[in-house]
């Protein structure tokens, strides 16, 4: 294989896959790079160390789903698995960050219940190759409720906390914003298939913006503990 053929293959790969990746994926990459900084800032909670790994897995899922869209035209089977995985990760995040021991135990019960419900839904109801709107809706509601509870604990705390330097504040804000906004878009999507294509494309654009904003808040969460020196006057 000569050099010309290698260049043609690389050019084909670039236009076939890289160009067709969704634009918000660059925000995911940026959040991964920002997340690496948590390993150099001590002390760092274990749940925060897991975030860059989780985001890297998210990146892999995005690449796989893009490939499936190009070659098969349907990536719902992978997305159904991914959103279950992501909900479990975020539920565990709240379990690690809230202080009330009773709530921590409740979250463990919610995690187990959500796994069982999602498996039952995949096997008996909406199946793996259809959008599992029931599981997604329940996951959204759980994240929204736990986000509100996190803020409730902050307001009940006797000592003032500098929220701008608190990673959990930015992450919880991002999750509350994202799932509150995506819930009305993605939950009824099985009933929106007959809508005009232009409207569906507009909804997709809004959804992509939500993903980008979520990862911007993740980036802030990873970098908010870094103290930047002001230049000398």
Mean pLDDT of 93-116: 96
Average pLDDT, the chain: 86
pLDDT at 72: 75
pLDDT level of residue 230 (50, 70, 90 thresholds): low
pLDDT at 198: 76
pLDDT per position as a tens digit, 26-56? 999 999 999 999 999 888 899 999 999 999 9
pLDDT per position as a tens digit, 164-179? 899 999 999 999 999 9
Cα 173 to chain centroid distance, Å, stands at: 13
1 pLDDT higher than 60: no
148 pLDDT higher than 90: yes
12 pLDDT higher than 60: no
pLDDT per position as a tens digit, 130-147? 889 999 999 999 999 999
233 pLDDT higher than 70: no
pTM of structure: 0.88
Most confident segment among 12-21, 69-78, 150-159: 150-159
pLDDT level of residue 96 (50, 70, 90 thresholds): very high
């Amino acid at each position: 294989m000569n050099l010309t053929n290698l260049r043609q293959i690389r050019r084909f790969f670039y236009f076939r896959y890289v160009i067709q990746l969704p634009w918000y994926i660059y925000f995911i990459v940026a959040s991964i790079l920002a997340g690496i900084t948590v390993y150099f800032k001590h002390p760092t909670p274990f749940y925060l160390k897991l975030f860059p790994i989780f985001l890297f897995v998210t990146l892999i899922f995005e690449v796989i789903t893009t490939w499936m869209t190009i070659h098969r035209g349907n990536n719902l089977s992978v997305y159904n698995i991914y959103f279950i995985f992501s909900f479990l990760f975020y539920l565990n995040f709240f379990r690690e960050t809230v202080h009330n021991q009773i709530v921590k135990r409740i979250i463990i019960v919610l995690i187990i219940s959500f796994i069982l419900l999602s498996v039952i839904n995949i096997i008996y109801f909406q199946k793996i190759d259809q959008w599992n709107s029931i599981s997604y809706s329940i996951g959204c509601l759980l994240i929204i409720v736990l986000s509100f509870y996190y803020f409730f604990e902050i307001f009940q705390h006797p000592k003032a906390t500098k929220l701008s330097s608190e990673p959990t504040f930015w992450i919880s804000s991002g999750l509350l914003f994202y799932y509150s906004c995506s819930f009305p878009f993605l939950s009824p999507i099985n009933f929106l298939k007959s809508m005009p294509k232009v409207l569906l494309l507009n909804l997709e654009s809004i959804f992509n913006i939500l993903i980008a904003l979520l990862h911007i808040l993740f980036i802030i969460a990873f970098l908010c503990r870094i103290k930047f020196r002001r230049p000398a006057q």
